Structure 1
């Protein structure tokens, strides 16, 4: 189990003022490579209201403490990390959506392929999601 100092350091490194609720949400988001939706966080943290979760996720995104992906499931999924300091789209990683358990995983070791855009187009983000069956569901 990770100690409180780790979470405080994460917030400080991203210039986010620590509060009890922010620490609670950040702690809940450390679920390995699996991403969570706002609904997931609401179920994990039933004492925290949805608007507080939403505002906290927006703050974390703005400070690049977390990243979000649209995996096609109908709700954004979030995970800690992956938001490098310069925000370069070339540093984006791949995500995997399991069609059986409906979980989404970060595959940080697989970079998104670089695509050459026609002149005048400017890339601001990439949403690269692979779909299939995760190892846990494939057994």
Structure 2
């Protein structure tokens, strides 16, 4: 996320609140996707679970974040590229889910071709690779 929290919220038509700024700050500091439980730990009681859920939902709806479900069924969120907009996530790429630390990384530079048959219209493409991330594989 290169833009400021204020710019991101304004661009996506969201009111600027302290809680939204705090959540955007967490995503700007993370180089991997964050789940709601992980965010709750990081925020240490700064906001309640319902408020956080609403923020994450609105950010996904507006194209600020995209969601990825890990191998355990937990939804994780990562920052969208600038090409995403409300309801249209265009940053389709492979996600890497580490089996050891469970972190999910967006592999932006890896974008395999997906051949959708004639007559089908893909709304979203999700490819998840699993294995060990560079930190876990070096230990």
Q: TM-score, normalised by structure 1?
A: 0.86
Aligned twin of 2:65: 66
Partner SS state of residue 29, structure 2: coil
Aligned twin of 2:21: 23
CA RMSD of aligned residues (A): 2.0
Partner SS state of residue 97, structure 1: strand
Cα distance in 2 between the residues matched to 1:72 and 1:121: 27
Moved over 4 A (4+): none
Cα distance in 1 between the residues matched to 2:57 and 2:8: 16
Contact 2:5 2:21 in 1 (8 A): yes
Contact 2:63 2:89 in 1 (8 A): no
Return the offset for 1:85: 3.5
Q: TM-score, normalised by structure 2?
A: 0.86
User: Which consecutive residues of structure 2, in runs of 5 or more, have no partner in the other structure?
Assistant: none
Cα distance in 2 between the residues matched to 1:42 and 1:83: 26
